[in-house]
């Protein structure tokens, strides 16, 4: 991590340690170390100190001191980000992990006010306790934080019904670069008093301020959710099946996986078993909201019978209880981990129009084979909203390090194809460090100018996550 060589920096660090309680900072290398790399081991960083404030006031105090001594800040939630935006490179690391309190929950307004360092699972559980639900679901929900999902506008498995994070937030509380505290913690569903300032912080990746709390929208859960998994022939069949499944407005999840990713999970995680007697080229995981288990099973049987007769699917498994539903979901939740067993993987999180998903796969797969003969594309994800996790796994027997060294030009080739289809180079993981150059090269000039002017207006000294996004 190294010692700062700038005298003003030394004084600033001393000021932070003097102003904040001993429990709100550490220089212990062993404590800090897990916060300096992300789980894929792609990004590594360093910091002279990690701040762990316990309140919004302590965050504001830290920001004021950093502003006074020209210290830059990298905020961090659960350190589950995939684009490097949470890893400091000499900046002050500010972790929200000690700010986890539930400040208020109300079943009349259907609002939950919770601090930014709380894991997403804590918000889900709090909602469940009052017979409500917070519908954002991610495989990392036990470790990713509220502040993190807000800062990256995370999506998850239920976007097609409930939307992304920005659709699930009433407002946020945030500490600005000036040290001021913006309080947007409301439960109002209608408020037309000027710009929606809370929205500025959603997807901003900590570049405009540090989100310290949020007011989340809660929903009445469906009486029952019926889950099924189907085997099918191709992405074309998957898109047709999606349209078929949307009828009646019950569809709440539609996830698609290729055989290579599916087998990587089944073959490497002993507690996950294959529910199908025969193999299929593609698989889809589907949820329908239902009035009861009987209604759910009948609806699933009717839909799947029609799909089978129409040639949309090859086989189907209908979960008969929560245990079976959980077992089916486990396959999808382990897709990222399963790919580690295949070797190195160049990963992208993109969106294309749903109708263009099959054409995207054909074009991208052909381009990747030409670029890296023998590579193994693993495209999976949220077909219901067009979000594809398009990952390229190294050829069998190739050198992992040599393969991963091609990350940038492989990504550029994929992004060219995404642009061709009118898609987005970032669907739900953000820009971070990884896609900063690509954003600058591909975004329209007016959009870039607006982004930069907003950043300059709110953070003129570029103190907040200074290397990220713009």
Phi, psi of 259 (to 5 degrees): -60, -40
How far is CA 296 from its chain centroid? 29
User: Per the confidence metrics, is the pTM higher than 0.85?
Assistant: yes
In a domain, 305, yes or no: yes
Whether 321 and 363 map to the same domain: the answer is no
- Burial (CB count <10 Å: 0-12, 13-18, 19+), residue 249: exposed
Phi-psi region of 217 (alpha: psi -120 to 50; beta: other; left: phi over 0): beta
Whether 111 and 210 map to the same domain: the answer is yes
In a domain, 458, yes or no: no
Question: How many domains would you assign to the chain?
Answer: 4
Cα separation, 127 vs 100, whole angstroms: 15
Contacts of 261 (CB under 8 A, 6+ apart): 335, 338, 339, 378, 380
Residue 250, CA atoms < 13 Å, CB-side half-sphere:
23
**CATH number of domain containing 426:** 3.30.70.2740
Whether 262 and 328 map to the same domain: the answer is yes
Q: Beta 169-176 vs 92-95: how paired, if at all?
A: unpaired
How far is CA 255 from its chain centroid? 15
Whether 187 and 254 map to the same domain: the answer is no
pLDDT tens digit string along 364-411?
999 999 999 999 999 999 999 999 999 999 999 999 999 999 999 999
- Cβ atoms 261, 332 nearer than 8 A: no
Tokens 């997807």 identify what position?
203
Cα separation, 390 vs 336, whole angstroms: 11
CA angle 129, 131, 136 (to 5 degrees): 85
- Cβ atoms 428, 155 nearer than 8 A: yes
Domain carrying residue 84: 7-95
**CATH number of domain containing 163:** 3.30.465.10
Cα separation, 147 vs 250, whole angstroms: 30
What are the tokens at 401? Answer: 């390090």
- Cβ atoms 124, 81 nearer than 8 A: no
- pLDDT tens over the chain, length 470 residues: 444 457 889 999 999 999 999 999 999 999 999 999 987 778 999 999 999 999 999 999 999 999 999 999 999 999 988 888 999 999 999 999 999 999 999 999 999 999 999 999 999 999 999 999 999 998 889 999 999 999 999 998 899 999 999 999 999 999 999 999 999 999 999 999 999 999 999 999 999 999 999 999 999 999 999 999 999 999 999 999 999 999 778 999 999 999 999 999 999 998 999 999 999 999 999 999 999 999 999 999 999 999 999 999 999 999 999 999 999 999 999 998 999 999 999 999 999 999 999 999 999 999 999 999 999 999 999 999 999 999 999 999 999 999 999 999 999 999 999 999 999 999 888 999 999 999 999 999 999 999 999 999 999 999 999 999 98
pLDDT tens digit string along 107-134?
999 999 999 999 999 999 999 999 999 9
Res 247: pLDDT: 78
Cα separation, 429 vs 382, whole angstroms: 13
Q: Beta 50-51 vs 92-95: how paired, if at all?
A: parallel
CA angle 173, 428, 344 (to 5 degrees): 130
Burial 319-354 (b: 16+ CB within 10 A, else e): beeeeebebbbebbbbbbebbeebbbbbbbbbbbeb
Find the radius of gyration of the CA atoms of the chain.
23
Whether 177 and 260 map to the same domain: the answer is no
pLDDT tens digit string along 337-371?
999 999 999 999 999 999 999 999 999 999 999 99
**CATH number of domain containing 238:** 3.30.70.2190
In a domain, 463, yes or no: no
Bridge partners, 91 (sequence order) = none
Whether 77 and 15 map to the same domain: the answer is yes
- Cβ atoms 391, 365 nearer than 8 A: no
Closest CA to 457 of 176, 213, 226, 242: 176
In a domain, 453, yes or no: no
Whether 352 and 326 map to the same domain: the answer is no
């Amino acid at each position: 991590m190294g010692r700062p060589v700038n005298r003003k920096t030394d004084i600033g660090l001393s000021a932070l340690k003097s102003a904040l309680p001993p429990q709100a900072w550490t220089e212990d290398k062993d404590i800090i170390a897990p916060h300096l790399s992300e789980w894929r081991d792609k990004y590594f960083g360093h910091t002279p100190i990690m701040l762990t404030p316990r309140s919004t006031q302590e965050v504001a105090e830290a920001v004021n001191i950093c502003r006074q001594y020209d210290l830059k800040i990298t905020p961090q939630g659960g350190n589950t980000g995939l684009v490097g935006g949470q890893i400091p490179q000499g900046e002050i690391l500010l972790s929200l992990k000690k700010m986890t309190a539930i400040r208020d929950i109300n079943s009349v307004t259907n609002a939950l006010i919770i601090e930014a360092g709380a894991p997403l699972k804590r918000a889900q559980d709090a909602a469940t306790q009052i017979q409500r639900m917070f519908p954002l679901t991610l495989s990392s929900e036990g470790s990713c934080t509220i502040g993190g999902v807000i800062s990256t506008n995370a999506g998850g498995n239920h976007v097609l019904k409930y939307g992304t994070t920005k659709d699930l937030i009433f407002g946020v509380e945030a500490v600005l670069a000036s040290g001021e505290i913006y309080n947007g913690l409301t439960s109002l569903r209608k408020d037309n008093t000027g710009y929606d300032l809370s929205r500025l912080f959603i997807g901003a990746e900590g570049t405009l301020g540090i989100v310290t709390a949020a007011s989340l929208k809660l929903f009445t859960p469906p009486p029952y959710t019926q889950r099924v998994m189907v085997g099918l022939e191709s992405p074309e069949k998957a898109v047709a099946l999606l349209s078929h499944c949307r009828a009646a407005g019950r569809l709440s999840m539609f996830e698609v996986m290729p055989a290579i990713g599916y087998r990587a999970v089944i073959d490497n995680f002993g507690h996950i078993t294959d529910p199908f007697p025969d193999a299929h080229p593609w698989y889809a995981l589907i949820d329908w909201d239902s009035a009861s288990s009987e209604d759910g099973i009948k609806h699933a049987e009717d839909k799947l019978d029609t799909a089978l007769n129409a040639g949309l699917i090859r086989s189907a498994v209908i979960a008969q209880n929560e245990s079976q539903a959980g077992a089916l979901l486990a396959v999808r939740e382990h897709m990222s981990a399963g790919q580690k067993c295949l070797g190195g993987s160049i990963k992208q999180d993109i969106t294309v129009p749903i109708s263009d998903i099959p054409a995207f796969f054909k074009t991208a797969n052909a381009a990747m084979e030409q670029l890296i003969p023998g590579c193994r594309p693993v495209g999976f994800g949220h077909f219901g909203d067009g979000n594809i996790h398009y990952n390229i796994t190294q050829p069998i027997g190739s050198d992992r390090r040599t393969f991963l060294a091609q990350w940038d030009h492989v990504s550029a080739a994929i992004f060219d194809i995404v642009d061709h289809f009118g898609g987005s180079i970032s669907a739900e993981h953000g820009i971070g460090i990884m896609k900063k150059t690509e954003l600058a090269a591909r975004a329209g000039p007016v959009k870039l100018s607006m982004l930069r002017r907003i950043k300059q207006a709110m953070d003129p000294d570029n103190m907040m996550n200074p290397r990220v996004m713009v």
